[in-house]
Amino acid sequence: MRDLTKMMHPKSIAIVGASAKLGSVGNELVLRATTAGFKGKIFAINPKCMDIEGLPCYASVAQVPESIDLAIIAVPAVAVLGVLEDCVQANIKNAVIISSGFKETGEKGAVLETNIAEFAQANEMNIIGPNCLGIINTADDVCLNGCFAPIQPVAGSIGFATQSGALASGIINLLPTLKTGIAQMVSLGNQCQINALDVMEMWENDDKVKQILMYLESIPNQKLFREVATRISKKKPILIIKSGRSARGAQASVSHTGSLAGDDTTATGLFASCGVIREIYLRDMFNTAQVLEKCPIPRGEKLGILTNAGGPGIMATDTANDLGIELADLYKNTTEKLRAILPPQASVANPVDVIASATAEQYEEAANIMLGAREVDMLLVIYLYIAGKNDLRITESLQRLKEKYPHKPIVSVFMTTPEYDDDVKEVVPNCDIPTFRFVIDAMHGLARLIERKHYLEQENEALPEFKVDKERVKKILTESQLLGINQLTTMQSLQIFEAYGLPMPRFGIAQTLKDAKEIAQKISYPVVLKLSSKTVTHKSDIGGVITNIKSEDELVFWWNRLVDRLNKANLVESLDGIVVMQQISGSNRELVAGVVKKGDVHQFMFGLGGIFVEALKEVTFRPCPLTIQDADALVNGTKAKNIMGFIRGGMATDPQIMRETLLRISKLVEDFPEINEIDANPLMIDEKGKLLCVDARIVL
């Protein structure tokens, strides 16, 4: 872990490339630093100026007579390395490189960036950037604004890191309307050295940073990311927007898993596995941040809705249903209390409609009754300015009730006049009720609060010990590698599955028709024939799978037919046998499980299977090695769950067997990391609910 204390809490800074020219980056950096109230010393570095904005200038950092904790560099790209050499001479170990013109511009710039990264590494420097907006720390004892955004940021408790400098500037501009503020901001730029993980670890134990928000375009070191994010997200929320969601096409792959494992789908699985809340839109991210900042984690998940208009109440109910939030069924004593204080026209079911004429006092009494009810765990208060303007008085009452019920989240939607936001700061300066203009924003934040609750309640169960035959698998893989074969045959893949205890039908490998007859007799009819070839990837493409063979006569007929097909396709020489497998009765329920290696991490896929798996794309991902929670999330994460229960006369499958099957496949790639791709497609559920893996494909 890097020590970035002096980077983010400097006692002195040097602005290299400071300028007297108004509107220039060098001048904006000086103005932001001097007007933010920085508690330390600021030195302007420019050999052509005597002073800038009242600061005396020095020709280089090496000429400053005092020690410097942080250099903020805004000079042409070709001059940056020389500045870093001066920093080393002046014993400056931390630098933020604002300058652009590096790898984002092409090969020549990439060489410059590599040079500064190698120099920083050799001289034990910490570098943020290049090509970034800068850094900010709003703490009262620091007040550092080391960026060139045009306005000063609103102080708060969020740590915000972003790969887009322009986005950082935009967020700073919007903070007053987002009803939140930042404790620290880091514009990551090209991340030539310090990356998102370094920043995440820096904020892990910083008490001033209550939440970590990030905009990322790439994920550095997924394996380490999972380790770090899992640890930190138990301490404080991590919210991430990962851009690049649109499909660019997966790399060529022989497995269904590989073709479906795009960067975005695997990123979603990675975030879910380590407790990171993934947001798609910036507005949602900051709405969620407002709710997580101002609301406690609820003890339960039942929502009460209080409104003075029916339409928004119905919309809130519909949105709650869409997001999986359950409305509380109010007990009789609760509705009786509400009926006693509300007009006869009011509705005391949930949502509770106090009607348009409700006074601020009636709002407070109704909210007090609902918050005091055992069946209500959270309260959404909706107010529309229809008759008397009571928004500020209701806000005051909600703040009092929050102090009375500190363990119950209160979120409000105030569709009132534009001046409300400014007025509430004066009338209720201590207000920390999350307030929104639209129901969807409030409900989204509550849904994320519940998601956070679920994650914090998870307890990591110890993985069971599995009896497996590693030596058998090792022998198969070694033989294939010696022959230069990376795509295993169906026969080899099935044997590996068998060695790792995956549930499978009875099967055997036949080289001749005589072998096939003996195997079929042993496992009993009906049977399936499927070719095992060194070159054919998808057997169904050439009619290489024949099902429901009910007798020896049919076996002879279809064996000869299959051999004819192979002869016509010139595939006989690539054949290493024909699999004779037990036919699964009632096997109309098909699932898929698989693994593909993406970068340094194996990604596990599970969902609806069969020949249409790539068309339907009803699958979800998690990184390996799977935990028990990951396996359960895979099983419950798609519509595949719907066909695992009782359906059209078929028995439900055992969820423990399903979980164990996924964990065994995960164990296989953990033991043999040279495996690049696995497809277990299809996993079939027979009419008795038995789970069976009937086909396998493994690529090294």
What's the average model confidence in pLDDT over 352-373?
A: 96
What's the average model confidence in pLDDT over 243-252?
A: 54
pLDDT at 293 over 50: yes
Instruction: Give pLDDT tens digits for 330-357.
Output: 999 999 999 999 999 999 999 999 999 9
Whether 397 contacts 360, CB under 8 Å: yes
Residue 562's pLDDT band (boundaries 50, 70, 90)?
confident
pLDDT at 257 over 80: no
What is d(CA 297, CA 449) in angstroms, rounded to the nearest whole number? 7
Per-residue DSSP letters for 57-85? EESSGGG-SS--SEEEE-S-HHHHHHHHH
Stretch among 246-250, 404-408, 411-415, 648-652 having the lowest mean pLDDT:
246-250
Give the three-state DSSP class for 414: strand
pLDDT of the residue at 542? 63
What's the average model confidence in pLDDT over 383-396?
A: 92
pLDDT of the residue at 385? 92
What is d(CA 412, CA 618) in angstroms, rounded to the nearest whole number? 36
What is d(CA 635, CA 628) in angstroms, rounded to the nearest whole number? 11
Q: Which residue has the higher pLDDT, 254 or 571?
A: 571
CATH class of 589-699: alpha beta
CB atoms within 10 A of CB 686: 19
Stretch among 263-267, 548-552, 595-599 having the lowest mean pLDDT:
263-267
pLDDT of the residue at 259? 46
What is d(CA 423, CA 428) in angstroms, rounded to the nearest whole number? 8
Per-residue DSSP letters for 358-407? --HHHHHHHHHHHHH-TT-SEEEEEEE-SSS--HHHHHHHHHHHHHHSTT
Residue 611's pLDDT band (boundaries 50, 70, 90)?
low
What's the average model confidence in pLDDT over 312-333?
A: 97
Distance, CA of 528 to chain centre = 42
What is d(CA 425, CA 392) in angstroms, rounded to the nearest whole number? 10
pLDDT of the residue at 70? 98
Whether 97 contacts 189, CB under 8 Å: yes
pLDDT of the residue at 298? 97
**What residues have CB less than 8 Å from 643, skipping those under 6 apart?**
589, 591, 608, 685
User: Which residue bears the tokens 């069924």?
Assistant: 329
Do the first three CATH levels of 5-217 and 506-583 match, i.e. the same topology?
no
Compute the mean pLDDT over every residue in the chain, rounded to the nearest whole number: 90
Residue 327's pLDDT band (boundaries 50, 70, 90)?
very high
Instruction: Give pLDDT tens digits for 128-150.
Output: 999 999 999 999 999 999 999 88
What's the average model confidence in pLDDT over 642-663?
A: 80
pLDDT of the residue at 545? 87
pLDDT of the residue at 251? 42
Q: Which residue has the higher pLDDT, 379 or 481?
A: 379
Q: What angle do CA 224, 239, 605 make, to 5 degrees?
A: 60
Whether the bond between 130 and the residue before it is cis, its omega within 30 degrees of 0, is yes
Q: Is the pTM of this model over 0.75?
A: yes
Domain ranges of the chain: 5-217, 302-445, 506-583, 589-699
- CATH code of 302-445, in short, is 3.40.50.261
Q: Judging by beta carbons within 10 Å of its beta carbon (0-12, 13-18, 19+), is residue 1 exposed, middle or buried?
A: exposed
Residue 645's pLDDT band (boundaries 50, 70, 90)?
confident
- CATH code of 506-583, in short, is 3.30.1490.20
Residue 178's pLDDT band (boundaries 50, 70, 90)?
confident
- How, if at all, do strands 527-533 and 545-549 pair? antiparallel
Residue 586's pLDDT band (boundaries 50, 70, 90)?
low
pLDDT of the residue at 49? 86
What is d(CA 682, CA 687) in angstroms, rounded to the nearest whole number? 15
Residue 435's pLDDT band (boundaries 50, 70, 90)?
very high
pLDDT at 254 over 50: no
Stretch among 140-149, 211-220, 297-306, 583-592 having the lowest mean pLDDT:
583-592
Instruction: Give pLDDT tens digits for 509-532.
Output: 998 999 999 999 999 999 999 888
CATH architecture of the domain with range 5-217: 3-Layer(aba) Sandwich (3.40)
Position 531: which residue type?
L
pLDDT of the residue at 318? 97
Encoded tokens for 590? 């098909």
Residue 666's pLDDT band (boundaries 50, 70, 90)?
very high
pLDDT of the residue at 88? 96
Residue 107's pLDDT band (boundaries 50, 70, 90)?
very high
pLDDT of the residue at 615? 64
Stretch among 65-79, 248-262, 293-307, 601-615 having the lowest mean pLDDT:
248-262
